[in-house]
Structure 1
Amino acid sequence: MFITRAVLGAAALAASLSLAHAQERTARIVSGFAPGGTADLVARVAAEAVAPHLGVRPVVETRTGASGMLALEMVARGPKDGSMVFQCPMGTLVINPELPGAVMSVDPRTALVPIANVALSSYGMVTGARSPYQSVADVVNAARARPGTVTYASAGVGTAQHLSGARMEVMANVSMTHVPYRGAAPGVLDLIAGRADFMVTNLGDVTRQIQGGELRLLALADPVGVPQFAGAPRIADTIPGLEVAGWFGLCGPTGMAPAAIRQWAEAVRLGLQNPDLRQRLLENGLTPIVEGPEEFANRMQRDRDAWGDTIRRANIRAE
């Protein structure tokens, strides 16, 4: 009987997981952010996607705190047999290590290895529905006319939202005021209430508010876009070269068994062919993507260089 290498590999990984966890017979995807957010959604979609191809159904375990670093440390110090992986978001993996003054118990650049990318996260520039701003040009012109008075919200100092606003200041040669919040949700509430002017953020955080009429989408921040907002302009139409996109993938601890890395990556590739799971990601402003360890590592390095440049040019430090 013909048996494919993928099936053999999945069986081998399932056997190794069973040996490592003889009693619970499970694998874990550890997420560093609270249930209900985009990172948690991706972790749960990934768990559902890989289950048929690993032979075990991974459990999503949430370990919040320190911008995802507690979860990262847990995986970095955990077993290397493939039984525990980290749902690795862009900010934790490539932005935090570049921030001067950031306190990290482990260095993501050396503590983890890439397994596979799962989803690209489109960003959008949004403002409150009652805001006077109807376009990116309106915001830029107001910032030039009244330096320092236009405000942009973020999910905290050093987050992708913060750096996106800072990148806009640098590239448009304007001065604006950064207003950090403890997460994207309170920032969105202040946008709706008119207490902040705009935010460049993950569409997964604001799609429902845009569709519900509470927020106005001024532009998308990447060239790919999403089906829900196919006709939206791009920030780069007004500020050439300004593009922002995030991602959510899976990483393992350094020293993870190569066979386990390969089989997790193959399970992601096969699992993301499921149209229902792809649709669930798309509905939340995410684009399914299949990138194996090498491609994912290359993306990490490119983004680390780009965000590091923004951090240095804007003189941003961790708080």
Structure 2
Amino acid sequence: MHPSRFSASRRQLLRAGTLTPAGLTLACLGVSAAEPFPSRTIRIIVPFTPGGGTDVVGRTLLVGMQAALGQALIIDNKPGAGTVIGTDIVAKAPADGYTLLMTTSAIAINDSLVKKLPYDTQKDITEVALICTGPNVLVTRAGSPYQSVADVIAAAKAAPGKLTYASSGNGSAVHLAGELFKNMARVDIAHVPYRGAGPAYNDLIGGQVDLLFGTAGGVAKLVAGGKMLPIGITSARRSAAYKDVPTIAETLPGYEADVWYALFAPAGTPPAVIATLNAALRKAAETPAYRDRLANEGLTVAAGTPEQMTRLMRAEEARWRKVVVDGKVTID
């Protein structure tokens, strides 16, 4: 082709907006301008230390998601500041679907509990899907004098401020479960936050703290091994996985503080990428093996659409804002 005729043709294509210079080069090479998703490893930020309920939920789920996506997914634990550190990493990550957040209802709680978040929950993070829901569990160590919720309330009223309860961190769902308990029972129990569930479990077993609010999945093995004694479930109804454990509401009517787990991405992630991730998550979560695994931990699969998760987030933010305000809950 004559150089001037080629140049004119190229200018016409560019003027028509049908081909960019980069696109022309790729087209000449027979390469698509759009990179298929996913084409490399996806990193899942978990804002907790290893060994907690999020690990139980996440690591098995990721096996199924890897199979559905055809790419590796890795968990990267980034604990600290009541899940804020890990959440902030995702909020500031490129919106390309390769850095995601797997967290709990702590993300909705922190929206009102933490006064100066380094990110805007509504503007910087977008929902991929709800994964599952389940109760938290109030536990003591084996041999504890507190064998029931009534024992705890009586001891707390007899000696205000003497009892201690551990949680996996400030702003976590289990922290607020404890604060709601204190508020409704009108007792003073000192909160001892940890940098993750594992250290909190160790100190409860070792006798450094009296009580612990933990996730059903996180404490399951320790309960089964006899190292922890469950004395109350935070759900409105008893759990099949803890069928002999009464609900806290049976002693404290109206009490309910379940936890949920969900997957999030940076705001601005393309809708097609969100849809791909959502489809892979739902496929992995709805397998009988995964449902059975979660059921053994006291959890129920509840995977849905991104839009359903967004509605849940807004409702949960409003719900826990009321708990924070009414209970005058603050963190250091």
State the TM bucket, normalised to the shorter chain. Answer: 0.7 to 0.9
- 1:61 & 1:177 partners in 2: Cα distance? 31
Give the length in aligned residue pairs.
299
Letter aligned with residue 183 of structure 1? G
Structure having the higher Rg: 2
Which residue of the partner structure matches residue 211 of structure 2?
Answer: 198
Query: Mapping of 1:130-141 within 5 angstroms?
Result: 130-141=143-154
Task: Please say if 1:17 is aligned against 2:37.
Answer: yes
Shift of 1:294: 1.9
Would you say the 8 A contact 2:83–2:171 is kept in 1? no
- Deviation readout 1:277-302 (Å, 9 max, x if unpaired): 23333344432221221221222222
Local SS of the residue matching 2:44: strand
1:274-313 aligned within 5 A? 274-313=287-326
**Aligned mate of 1:269, from 263, 282, 302:** 282
- Is the 8 Å Cα contact of residues 17 and 83 (structure 1) preserved in structure 2? no
Q: 1:71 to 1:179 in 2, by over 3 A?
A: closer
Q: What TM-score do you get using the length of structure 1 for normalisation?
A: 0.83
1:83 to 81, 98, 116: 98
Q: Is the 8 A contact 1:112 1:252 kept in 2?
A: yes
Shift of 1:243: 0.8
Structure 2 unaligned residues grouped into runs of 5+? 1-33
Q: How does 1:166-185 map to 2 (within 5 A)?
A: 166-185=179-198
**Which secondary structure does the structure 2 equivalent of 1:17 belong to?**
coil
CA gap 1:82/1:188 in 2 versus in 1, 3 angstroms: closer
Match of residue 5 from structure 1 = none
The answer for the alignment partner of 1:50 in structure 2 is 65
> Aligned pair in 2 of structure 1 residues 76, 199: CA closer, same or farther (>3 Å)?
same
Alignment map for 1:97-246 (pairs within 5 Å) = 97-101=111-115, 103-223=116-236, 225-246=238-259
- Change over 3 Å in CA distance of 1:224–1:80 after alignment to 2: farther
Kept in 1: contact 2:82–2:169 (CA 8 A): no
Q: 1:227 Cα shift?
A: 3.1
Q: 1:137 to 1:66 in 2, by over 3 A?
A: closer
Offset at 1:146? 3.0
Which secondary structure state, in structure 1, belongs to the residue aligned with residue 317 of structure 2? helix
- Asked whether the 8 Å contact 2:68–2:284 carries over to 1, the reply is yes
Per the normalisation by structure 2, the TM-score is 0.80
Query: What is the CA–CA distance in structure 1 between the aligned matches of 2:165 and 2:280, rounded to whole Å?
Result: 40
C-alpha distance in structure 1 between counterparts of 2:86 and 2:263, whole Å: 12
> How has the CA–CA distance of structure 1 residues 223 and 186 changed in structure 2, closer, same or farther, with 3 Å as cutoff?
same
Q: Which shifted more, 117-126 or 221-230?
A: 221-230
SS at 2:51 equivalent:
coil
Q: Compared with structure 1, are the counterparts of its residues 181 and 264 closer, same or farther at alpha carbon in structure 2 (3 Å cutoff)?
A: closer
Note if contact 1:209-1:215 (Cα within 8 Å) is conserved in structure 2: yes
Cα distance, 1:262 vs structure 2: 1.9
Letter in 1 for 2:63: E
Indicate the SS of the match to 1:243.
coil
Counterparts in 2 of 1:63 and 1:198: CA distance versus 1, 3 Å: closer
Distance in 2, Cα, partners of 1:259 & 1:224 = 38
Counterparts of 1:149 and 1:35, CA distance in 2: 30
